[in-house]
Amino acid sequence: MQNDPQTPADMPRPEDADALEASLKRGELVRPAGVFVIAGVVGSEALALAVFGIWSIFSLLTQPSNSFASAIFLTLLLLGLSAGLGAVAFKAFHGFRWTRSAAFVWQLLMVAIATPALLEGELMLGLLLLLPPLAVVYFLFTPKVVAFSLRTAAEETVL
């Protein structure tokens, strides 16, 4: 009877992880294509939220509001989400492992927004909101992206 490995060091490693560590020891940093897709999509979502946040500030100052406090809260929420997603995109590009879970949760929220649009017959809007998150979710779990974010041969610690 064979025991399951108890520590990550005892677990079998994919060939991609060994090739990645060898390239890191040589001083090369090879980012998989999925990392570019993840950082690009999450970064563009952060940029879109920032644009909506700035537009919300402009409309807050120029148009009457039913509830000024809720308008300020929603503006700050948009800008805060934009800053958070921008940090996730930047750190995902650099290979931090915590960004995978943050990006995954945000993409699930995007799918939850896209689903009603598709069900209501807004095909173009629904696909525009659905396809980029599906691409990110796919690339988040590819072996090369996982190996890139779990690398241990880097000179500095990657969280």
pLDDT value for 99:
92
d(C-alpha 72, C-alpha 4), whole Å: 53
pLDDT value for 25:
56
Q: Give, in degrees to the nearest 5, the angle at Cα 96 between 90 and 98.
A: 105
Of 138, 89, 134, 100, whose CA–CA distance to 115 is shortest? 134
Computed over its alpha carbons, how large is the radius of gyration of the chain? 20
pLDDT value for 153:
43
The owner of tokens 């990550």 is 8
> Taking the domains of the chain in order of start, what are their residue ranges?
33-149
What is the reported pTM?
A: 0.76
Could you report the average pLDDT of every consecutive run of 10 residues in the chain (159 residues)?
54 57 59 93 96 95 90 95 96 91 95 93 91 95 90 53
